[in-house]
Amino acid sequence: MTAIYNDYPYWRYTVSELGVRHGLLGDSPIPNIGPQADQYHKIKGYGETCKFIIDEPVEANIPGPESPEGITVFKKLHELLDTYKISAEDVHMISPAVNFEELYTSWCEDNDEKQFIGNRHVYPFYFLTEQRKYEYVRNFNHTRNKHLMSLNGAVKPKRLKFIKFCKNHGLMNNYISLVANYNTTDKKVTPIELDVGADELSKNDKAVPLKLMEDSWLNIINETHEDKTVFFTEKTWKPILNLQLFLYYGVGNPQAYYNALRSYGFELYDEILDYSNSAEHEIFKFSLISLQEWADKIDKVKDKMLYNQNLALNTNWKELFYEKEYNSIWG
């Protein structure tokens, strides 16, 4: 059914609604949007403006999951738009990937694909607005018993590398976990559990272990994507909302994450962390300093930590960014 915005007709879908993620890959037929496409071409025939909006706030995968036949989500999406002759200039996609423009254009160039999605937009705060629904640390704790915290679910190469690094440097006495809640086919991977087991985490990965967070200083973030995708999930927002320092470890380009946070107004803790060093270097250096010394050092950045928490909690991100993107769609 056609919707109207500012007197313009448009169709709004998520990738799932278009049926091109997960279940409908490979040889599966593309979904039937014939009636909507007929309306689209009729309206275009009158010389009127209309839009196809693909609104995907949750998944940043480009080119997306791949079928056994080697066909990706974006390949299938291109097939859909091509089949129904939807003009690229009328196709708008909103993605949570901060570097969506770079990822999409690079994928098209590398795979000799026409750019069927003519307009790319970004809304990176879906997981922040969801995480704000949960309880958070309300009082700054100067007395903490652990240097580090890193809670990990799915088994991934860089997370295994991180666990190995911690074991080799005597850091496993911190709050470190790898509960192996998704891809556990590798029987050699032994789950490391702290506050929550695999079954519970699979049901709710946004729950916050407040006692652990307020009792540790530095949160090591192993984000979802290990490639060059810059995508903020709850893993990024938990330490910011709960008054912890943070470093990225298992991502392709940590500097891109730090730069993006800065661009959205968040402060980094340059006074006590050197973000130009590798995460392993900073983690090991951090662990050599006594907890009492950290309690003294933290005053240098306490105001920044409180500022970041307030910014994350009290900014209407949806209004600032989502409405901005919709306004840019409609000119």
pLDDT tens digit string along 71-95? 678 888 898 899 999 999 999 999 9
- Whether the per-residue pLDDT at 97 is higher than 90: the answer is yes
pLDDT tens digit string along 240-298? 999 999 999 989 999 999 999 999 999 999 999 999 999 999 999 999 999 999 989 99
pLDDT tens digit string along 127-153? 999 999 999 999 999 999 999 999 888
- Whether the per-residue pLDDT at 205 is higher than 60: the answer is no
Question: Over the chain, what is the mean pLDDT?
Answer: 86
**136 or 9, greater pLDDT:** 136
**pLDDT in the model for residue 11:** 81
Question: How many Å apart are CA 147 and CA 216, to the nearest integer?
Answer: 5
**313 or 33, greater pLDDT:** 313
Per domain, the residue ranges of the chain are: 3-122, 129-314
- Peptide bond before 63: cis, by omega within 30 degrees of 0? yes
Q: Please, is 139 exposed, middle or buried when counting C-beta atoms within 10 Å of its C-beta (0-12, 13-18, 19+)?
A: exposed
Mean pLDDT for the stretch of residues 49-59: 86
Is the Cβ–Cβ distance between 57 and 17 less than 8 Å?
no
- Whether the per-residue pLDDT at 1 is higher than 50: the answer is no
Is the CATH code 3.30.559 the one for domain 129-314? Answer: no
Task: Work out whether strand 8-13 and strand 3-5 pair parallel, antiparallel, or are unpaired.
Answer: antiparallel
**pLDDT in the model for residue 198:** 43
